[in-house]
Amino acid sequence: MNDPIRFVCQPVALAALVCCAWNAHAQDPLAQATADPGALSPVVVTGERSGGGVWRGAASIDVVDGESLRDGQAQINLSEGLAGVPGLVIRNRQNYAQDLQISVRGYGARATFGVRGVRLFVDGIPASAPDGSGQVANFPLGGADRIEVVRGPMAALYGASSGGALLLYTEEGQHPAQWRTGMVAGSDGLWRLSTQATGKTGAPKEPGWSYALDVSRFATDGARPQSAADRTNANLKLSRLHEGGRTVLVLNQHNSFALDPQGLSRAQLNANPTQTAFPATDFNTRKSVAQTQLGLAFEQVLGGGHKLELMGYGGQRQVVQYQSIPIGSQTGPDNLGSSGGVIDLDRDYWGWNARWRHEGDWQRGRLSLSAGFASDHQRDQRKGYQNFVGGTKGVQGDPRRDEVNRASTLDPYLQAEWRSKDLTLMGGVRQTRTKYESSDQYVVAGNGDDSGRKTFQATLPVVGVRWQLKPSVQAFASVGKGYEIPTLNEVAYRSGGASGFNTEINAARSTSAEMGLRGRAERFGWNATAFDIRTNDEIVVQNNTGGRTTFQNAGRTQRQGLELSGDWRHGPFSLVSALTWMQAEYLDAFKTCVSTGCPTVENPQVTVPAGNRIPGLPMQQAFVQAAWDTGWAGSRVIFETRHVGGVMVNDRNSDSAAGHTLFNLGVHFKQDRGDWTLREFIRVDNLTDRRHVGSVIVNDGNSRFFEPGLGRKLLVGLEAQRRF
């Protein structure tokens, strides 16, 4: 590292954090650890998961089991069950046209839609494209076995743009077979129906195929005008054991439609946070998505502790989105390069990885080695149209964009881990190379050929250590290099907003370090981790006006923080919580635009001073959940407190969303009746009906930064499960 690692925490704040900290949903990493996922594990092994691997690992990994994700939840959004993971900011925008807002230790905060800077996997298949963009709307929460949240330097081993990683694994079919179905209904016309079926064909002693099916349908009228949405997800996993190995087939399908209420300005938020800005209704802003993907994995034991794993996948994604780009920004001699106000995207994507693994005893410990290649590809046929015909708005008009964008990767990687009872040594390296190509097929008078290409390449080494101070206390530390590339969407416009492939923007490079302690006892578990991240060439907005967002490289940034978590259980009572403190700021000043036509002499850039906070990131975040098993009718009472600190809305720090604290109350019931299990719940969120901003649209060019959070809402659910 160029600068020494240092952790700066005010003593009073640090003392308060230590006093308040308990664990997230992954209360006991050893108890939560499950069997090695084998062929469906992602490209990089993050530590042995059986035999205490998470507890003995040198990385920051939280495991949230599927029951915690589902119990008393709508099972619609990933944000429902991950509030207790420290270092993770995950917010429901209440806008299903834009997906969730997710960042890990500050990575991904700049995303105005979808997910950036955080890698996503479902059963080992990437839900992130090679360019680093991703979505979580297709995550099958109803059939999830667990989610692993990887933070810190080790996350870089998942490739470029891996400031963190979210890995969802679905259930495995077992004997006896199980079937469950559930429904949820709530405020604003929200409802969800789902069915899951798991089992194995054949007899228990001679099993055939293992199957796990999850199908769900959800819809809502939305809390604001122009915010209705519906979604259908289906996920099927088939697996079969053979001599010395396993074959797995995964099929996933996602269809959704959502109106887009967009954000509110400060004046609109203060006047009426339940309103929707006129441009959204005027242009009938909306988005539809259809996606289908197939994955096939194979593993084979070779003998002598060696194993071969192969995985391939492919899919197709279609997106049509109607935006509220003003007509004046699409017409006239000054806007010949406009892409219009309608996005029509057809994406084909595919990839594979091949890995050799070896595990055996060595030097009074256990040595694990893995090496392989991973390759991912995407081909985007992107078209753009005007969002008007004559005086009619919100309809597909004349074509304004037609191009083919390609992104491809080919990453070799190597990882080694040696562990004993008292010590773990872990190291890995991944060389990442991403190639972009853009072929412009819309060449007309006044709009020339904007084709281009660029290659990003880096080598990412990571090392870590874990040592046992005593049987109940572990210390760990790791350090590594990170690398974030701009997405294809972020290189779509050149400096000043001109159309064409932006070859000037570079990848952001970072050095990340963490150190921590974790402990466990019969009734108590805890974790404390401090981290420091230094980044060069941070990717930031240069201009965001007229429907175009142009990105540039700023100078250095720094993210320093402390994550504390723990859990306590005694008899029928339990208390779990997590608390994060993070300071994220620009270390160097840079210039940005705030008006159309910038930068020109008439509309110059303005300076973002050093010391400004990185927008979209709260300085504090806390979660506390207290539960009481009453012993009456299988009931459990749960009380939650969720606090989010204030958030800056743009790089200039010209405005902010105030911090807020929300209280939620739920009562769960469970009855076992032979082969049947019934579960019911009733939940009230935001008990005090607190007005608050749920999320912000970072650097919005129209200054409509604010996405209002929900007021007091009621949710009820029923689930029936049968074993055969």
Give CA–CA dist 51/33, Å, rounded. Answer: 8
Tokens describing residue 719: 């689930």
Portion of the chain with pLDDT greater than 90, in percent: 78
In a domain, 387, yes or no: yes
Average pLDDT score over residue span 473-498: 89
In a domain, 359, yes or no: yes
> In degrees, to the nearest 5, what angle opens at C-alpha 680 toward C-alphas 676 and 682?
175
> In which band, very low, low, confident or very high, does the pLDDT at 207 lie, cut at 50, 70 and 90?
confident
Q: What digits encode the pLDDT tens for the residues 493-523? A: 887 666 678 889 999 999 999 999 999 998 9
Helix H or strand E segment including 507: none
CA 571 to chain CA centroid, Å, is 35
Helix H or strand E segment including 32: helix 29-32
In a domain, 5, yes or no: no
In a domain, 204, yes or no: yes
Give CA–CA dist 50/36, Å, rounded. Answer: 6
Cα-flanking dihedrals φ and ψ of residue 271, to 5°?
-75, -45
In a domain, 294, yes or no: yes
Omega within 30 of 0 (cis) for the link into 176: yes
Q: How far is CA 699 from CA 281, 548, 694, in A?
A: 22, 12, 16
Tokens describing residue 142: 């109803």
Q: What digits encode the pLDDT tens for the residues 532-567? A: 999 999 999 988 766 678 899 999 999 999 999 999
Cα-flanking dihedrals φ and ψ of residue 157, to 5°?
-70, -5
In a domain, 4, yes or no: no
User: Which residues, including other chains, have CB under 8 Å from residue 120's CB and lie 6 or more apart?
Assistant: 126, 127, 128, 134, 135, 136, 139, 165, 166
Q: How far is CA 579 from CA 529, 668, 694, 722, in A?
A: 11, 25, 18, 38
pTM of the model: 0.91
Which structural domain range is residue 235 located in? Answer: 11-723
24 pLDDT above the threshold of 50: no
Task: Report the CATH number that the domain containing residue 704 is assigned in CATH.
Answer: 2.40.170.20
48 pLDDT above the threshold of 70: no
pLDDT: is 573 or 16 the higher one? 573
In a domain, 1, yes or no: no
Give CA–CA dist 279/313, Å, rounded. Answer: 40
327 pLDDT above the threshold of 80: yes
Give CA–CA dist 212/66, Å, rounded. Answer: 14
In a domain, 2, yes or no: no
User: Number of folded domains in the chain?
Assistant: 1
